[in-house]
Amino acid sequence: MREALTRFGPLGVTFIIGSVTVWALVLILVPHLMLIDYAFHPNPGAVSKGLVEAGWSFYSFKPLFDPKDALAFQTFLRTLLTSGAITVLTLIICYPLAYYLAKVATHKWLSFFMLCLLVPFWVNEVLRAYAWRTLMARQGLLNQLTVAMGFTPVEYFNYELPILDANIALFVGLVYSYILFMVFPMFNAMESLDTNQVEAARDLGASWVRVHRKVVIPHAKPGIASGCIVTFMLTAGSFIVPVLLGGRSSFWFTQAIESQFSVLNWNGGSAYALVLELVCLVFVLLTMKLFRVTLRDIMR
């Protein structure tokens, strides 16, 4: 605090603290209190019909866990499973890429590859999703190449992957949309790793698999955990990509939330949103426990 006072002065410190306080109250605390209040109150329409009494209750949560109408719960479960699978797939794709950028690429190539990663994200997410939709359409570029090679066109939007009921287009779109959020945390963590440790392990006869398992991964755990957390949360909370790239059965839970609000059922939509937020919080805690990292480690 003394250092901040010396650097910014009393007026500057007051402005910074005041700005953070207003930000936290207006954009975080107050909206969440309203969300909780709506979630634990029944819809006025249900009250007027005598289906439930006014006041605090779990009525708005019941449709999500109603065994007679399992659509909402199945959508919720499918979203979580698919988000987990996409997080693992993104990790598998991004880990070697992050290691190459951090420890192998020269400064010249590092700048080039970083530019290649960043440039597509200068375009709006909606346009990127439409671009993938165009590429993977039945008459799109990918299928034109497939037919030219003598193969049958691939139904990217209708082919359902086992168990997840999610199509190839949705997987590609979501992995592509959030790949940077997995690469950069791991890159930052691996960049601080002393290359001499890797070379020493190799000199002692360790295979590359053992080097990564014993040296690189333990050092990069905060970055891996951070990337998994952010990717999972963004994927589970995605809306545009599932709408544009989802197939017949790839109904995302955020679409279920939006459908509740669109029919002015703010209480049901708030209940669904609160459940999704709590599950994401549980995922954060489980990931931190799995990788044995603290919040401070992740925020470094």
pLDDT band at 8 (very low <50, low <70, confident <90, very high): low
**d(C-alpha 101, C-alpha 211), whole Å:** 17
67 by Cβ neighbours in 10 Å (0-12 / 13-18 / 19+) ranks as exposed
Q: What is the pLDDT of residues 29-77, one digit of tens each?
A: 999 999 999 999 888 888 888 788 888 888 889 888 877 777 888 889 8
**d(C-alpha 245, C-alpha 29), whole Å:** 33
pLDDT reading at 204 higher than 90: no
Instruction: For the chain, give the percent of residues with pLDDT over 90.
Output: 35
pLDDT in the model for residue 293? 85
Inter-residue contact 129 to 135 (CB < 8 Å): no
Inter-residue contact 161 to 167 (CB < 8 Å): yes
Residue with tokens 């020269």: 106
Alpha carbon distances (Å) from 157 to 76, 78, 153, 179? 20, 17, 12, 21
pLDDT reading at 87 higher than 70: yes
- Candidate ranges 135-139, 140-144, 199-203, 249-253; pick with highest mean pLDDT: 199-203
Q: What is the average pLDDT across 218-235?
A: 93
**d(C-alpha 244, C-alpha 260), whole Å:** 19
Q: What is the average pLDDT across 87-108?
A: 92
Chain mean position to CA 106: 30
**d(C-alpha 100, C-alpha 110), whole Å:** 9
pLDDT in the model for residue 300? 67
pLDDT band at 233 (very low <50, low <70, confident <90, very high): very high
Q: Name, in order, each residue with C-beta under 8 angstroms of 284's C-beta and a sequence gap of 6 or more.
A: 229, 233
pLDDT reading at 236 higher than 60: yes
Ordered domains of the chain (ranges, CATH): 70-299 (1.10.3720.10)
pLDDT reading at 249 higher than 80: no
pTM, two decimals, is: 0.87
Q: Name, in order, each residue with C-beta under 8 angstroms of 38's C-beta and a sequence gap of 6 or more.
A: 60, 266, 267, 269, 270, 271
Q: Regarding predicted confidence, which is higher, 47 or 190?
A: 190
Mean per-residue pLDDT of the chain: 86
Q: What is the pLDDT of residues 259-289, one digit of tens each?
A: 999 988 899 999 999 999 999 999 999 999 9
Q: What is the pLDDT of residues 129-171, one digit of tens each?
A: 888 888 888 788 888 888 888 888 877 776 655 545 567 888 8
